[in-house]
């Protein structure tokens, strides 16, 4: 026994020396642990650019943007004159959009979940279609219909009166409300599913009518309703798509476009842009504070052992007719009108100009298909979207596993805070932060030359996609029991093989959905692409807006339609390949029987 233990000890010492010697032969960057490399990447893409960009508002000299070490002059400029008007416009639009989206989201949840209204089954697909459609594409669809020499005018109708109403705060609120409905619906419907009908029965027993029952349900769903208000408000005040299209065309200034102009000015006014970013962040924080104060001291625990299952109300003939009309009108305004505006505009030759035949044909498609104005930007964006989706998925899996760990460490709590803060930051702030941080003399002096390159654009795409993709995967990663991985390691299987044989089959479908979601969102992303596109390379969203800026409305809209069709083709191909090639066990997990 002594001999055996001595031999074992000798073997362990020899193995330890071999590991030390092997580490010494590796380059320094290979000796970094994967977790350390992960945190360095998180700091580089999420923390450093934003912290430096926000710091320049109060200390311009610290970052070579002025002569003062501490000043609030940038805030005085941002909250004065035309800039203040833009901030107030954003505040008013955010409040209006949040209230309208929450009201419509609640009504839609009620009709879809608690009634037998016709057509209710299609709304899950409609909601996700709205969620994936960028706001600037919805705005452009409306503009193609109402603009001078637009679709309606070509058809013989003069939309001047409607254009005068829509080109301004009314149209901006309509478009942002349409974009806010999916967030409100998902927040409220998830809570409504767990609310039994016994509370409504109690209202009726005490003589209350339908209105009283609705008021009671709204009260019990307080957390979900306030969450919807806060989410939609944050999305609205930070939106850049509508700001760069409809609001800009209507000469209606909003905060995000003011920030864009400050960064694009020559020379760039980074302190003012940073101050506007602070204002946007403060508005979002105030919305969250209002949500917390409204719910403080109240209990909303309605689930218990006696909770009755949700019961659908059978509508009368008149009720079914009115609900069908309401759902149809909402579908037309949200998707029907923008889709018709985009498709019809792409089929009119010379739309938007006094020249051209204004005939219905495929001339615009024949002109852009095969043209460098479409193929190069589309292939460039598709490649970047695929790279971004793949890297984001790998990082999001690590983030989701850290966040799903029940014994959350300090690192997990820090990561959770960073991701939540990143969700609240507008994409335009991320883009501006990257321009500033990676163009500093200090950055260039240490050998980091990323400004004006495709690599910086990919990093910015990662920064905007990682927070939301991580949140999407938390639910799936939380369902994996650690005992499965532990038992695999006990039998001598390494971590990589354990992940491939146990974790991947369980999470294959959610991982595919997350990859496709990130791909489609990145392909048509606008604010980051607009600010960080490198010279000589043009993402498809910038190509579309560039064509529209040259008054080539037909060609630009044809590019828009083809880009959307290419995204849908990738989504369809992804699910088709999964169905055909994935093992049967992978396909069965998560599928309804």
Q: Could you read off the pLDDT of 321-356 as tens digits, one per residue?
A: 888 888 888 889 888 889 898 888 888 887 766 566
DSSP assignment, residue 533?
P
507 pLDDT exceeds 90? no
Residue 156: what pLDDT? 84
Percent residues over pLDDT 70 in the chain:
74
| pLDDT, average across residues 396-425 | 70
Region 390-406: mean pLDDT is 80
pLDDT (tens digit per residue) in 297-330: 544 444 444 445 556 667 788 878 888 888 888 8
pLDDT band at 219 (very low <50, low <70, confident <90, very high): low
Mean pLDDT of 470-479: 66
Helix (H) / strand (E) element for 501: namely: none
CA separation for the pair 479, 501 (Å, rounded): 16
Under the banding of pLDDT at 50, 70 and 90, the label for residue 177 is very high
CA 335 to chain centre: 18
Q: What value does the mean pLDDT take over residues 38-51?
A: 81
Within 10 angstroms of residue 346's Cβ, the number of other Cβ atoms is: 24
Range ranked top by mean pLDDT from 112-121, 366-375, 444-453, 456-465? 456-465
79 vs 390, which has greater pLDDT?
390
Region for residue 71 given its phi and psi (left: phi exceeds 0; alpha: psi -120 to 50; beta: otherwise): beta
Given a cut of 80, whether residue 415 has pLDDT beyond it is no
Q: Are 53 and 436 in contact (CB under 8 A)?
A: yes
- pLDDT value at 481 more than 70: no
CATH number of 93-253+317-347: 1.10.3720.10
The residue among 592 and 238 whose pLDDT is bigger is: 238
What is the DSSP-derived secondary structure letter of residue 423? Answer: H
d(CA 329, CA 191) in angstroms, rounded, equals 25
Q: What is the pLDDT of residue 545?
A: 86
User: Between 129 and 91, where is the model more confident?
Assistant: 91
Query: Which region among 116-125, 252-261, 338-347, 391-400 has the lowest average model confidence (pLDDT)?
Result: 116-125
47 exposure class (CB count in 10 Å sphere: 0-12, 13-18, 19+):
middle
CA–CA separation, 529 and 124 (whole Å) = 30
Distance CA 324, CA 393 (A): 40
Q: How confident is the model at residue 519 (pLDDT cuts 50, 70, 90)?
A: very high
Give helix 270-295 / helix 410-424 axis angle, nearest 10°. Answer: 110
On the question of pLDDT at 590 being above 50, the answer is no
pLDDT bucket at 362, cuts 50 / 70 / 90: confident
Please report which confidence band the pLDDT of residue 92 belongs to, taking 50, 70 and 90 as the band edges.
very high
Helix axis angle, 372-404 relative to 553-581, nearest 10°? 50
């Amino acid at each position: 026994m002594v001999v055996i233990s001595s031999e074992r000890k000798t073997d362990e010492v020899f193995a330890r020396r071999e590991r030390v010697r092997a580490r010494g032969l590796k380059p320094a960057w290979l000796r970094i642990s994967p977790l350390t490399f992960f945190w360095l990447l998180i700091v580089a893409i999420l923390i450093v650019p934003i912290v430096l960009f926000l710091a320049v508002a109060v200390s311009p000299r610290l970052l070579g943007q002025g002569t003062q070490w501490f000043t609030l002059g940038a805030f005085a400029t941002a909250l004065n004159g035309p800039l203040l008007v833009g901030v107030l416009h954003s505040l008013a639009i955010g409040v209006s959009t949040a209230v309208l989206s929450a009201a419509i989201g609640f009504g839609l949840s009620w009709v879809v979940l608690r009634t037998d209204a016709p057509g209710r089954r299609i709304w899950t697909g409609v909601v996700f279609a709205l969620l994936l459609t960028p706001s600037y594409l919805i705005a452009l669809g409306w503009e193609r219909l109402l603009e001078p020499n637009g679709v309606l005018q070509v058809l013989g109708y003069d939309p001047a009166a409607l254009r005068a109403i829509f080109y301004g705060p009314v149209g901006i609120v309509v478009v942002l409300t349409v974009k806010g409905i999916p967030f409100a619906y998902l927040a409220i419907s998830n809570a409504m599913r767990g609310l039994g009908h016994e509370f409504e029965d109690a209202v009726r027993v005490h003589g209350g009518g339908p209105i009283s029952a609705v008021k009671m349900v709204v009260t019990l769903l307080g957390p979900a309703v306030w969450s919807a208000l806060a989410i939609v408000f944050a999305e609205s005040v930070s939106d850049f798509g509508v700001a760069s299209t409809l609001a800009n065309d209507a000469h209606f200034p909003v905060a995000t476009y003011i920030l864009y102009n400050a960064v694009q000015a020559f020379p760039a006014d980074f302190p003012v842009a940073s101050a506007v970013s602070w204002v946007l962040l403060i508005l979002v924080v105030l919305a969250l504070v209002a949500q917390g104060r409204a719910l403080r001291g109240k209990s909303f625990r309605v689930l218990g052992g006696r909770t009755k299952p949700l019961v659908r109300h059978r509508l009368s003939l008149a009720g079914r007719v009115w609900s069908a009309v309401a759902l149809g009108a909402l579908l037309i305004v949200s998707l029907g009108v923008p889709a018709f505006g985009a498709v019809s505009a792409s089929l009119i030759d010379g739309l938007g100009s006094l020249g051209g035949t204004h005939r219905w044909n495929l001339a615009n498609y024949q002109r852009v298909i095969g043209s460098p104005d479409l193929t190069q930007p589309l292939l460039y964006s598709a490649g970047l979207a695929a790279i971004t989706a793949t890297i984001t998925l790998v990082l999001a899996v690590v983030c989701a596993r850290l966040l799903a760990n029940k014994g959350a460490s300090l690192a997990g709590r820090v990561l959770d805070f960073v991701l939540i803060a990143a969700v609240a930051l507008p994409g335009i702030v991320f883009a501006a932060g990257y321009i500033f941080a990676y163009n500093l003399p200090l950055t260039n002096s240490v050998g980091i030359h990323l400004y004006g390159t495709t690599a910086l654009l990919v990093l910015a795409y990662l920064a905007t996609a990682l927070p939301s993709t991580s949140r999407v995967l938390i639910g799936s990663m939380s369902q994996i029991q650690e005992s499965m991985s532990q038992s695999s390691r006990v039998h001598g299987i390494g971590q990589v093989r354990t992940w491939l044989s146990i974790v991947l089959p369980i999470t294959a479908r959610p991982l595919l959905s997350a990859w496709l979601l990130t791909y489609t969102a990145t392909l048509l992303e606008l604010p980051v692409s607009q600010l960080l596109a490198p010279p000589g390379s043009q993402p498809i969203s910038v190509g579309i807006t560039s064509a529209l800026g040259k008054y080539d409305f037909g060609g630009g809209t044809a590019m828009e339609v083809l880009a959307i069709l290419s995204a849908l083709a990738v989504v369809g191909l992804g699910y088709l390949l999964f169905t055909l090639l994935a093992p049967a066990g992978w396909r069965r997990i998560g599928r309804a029987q």
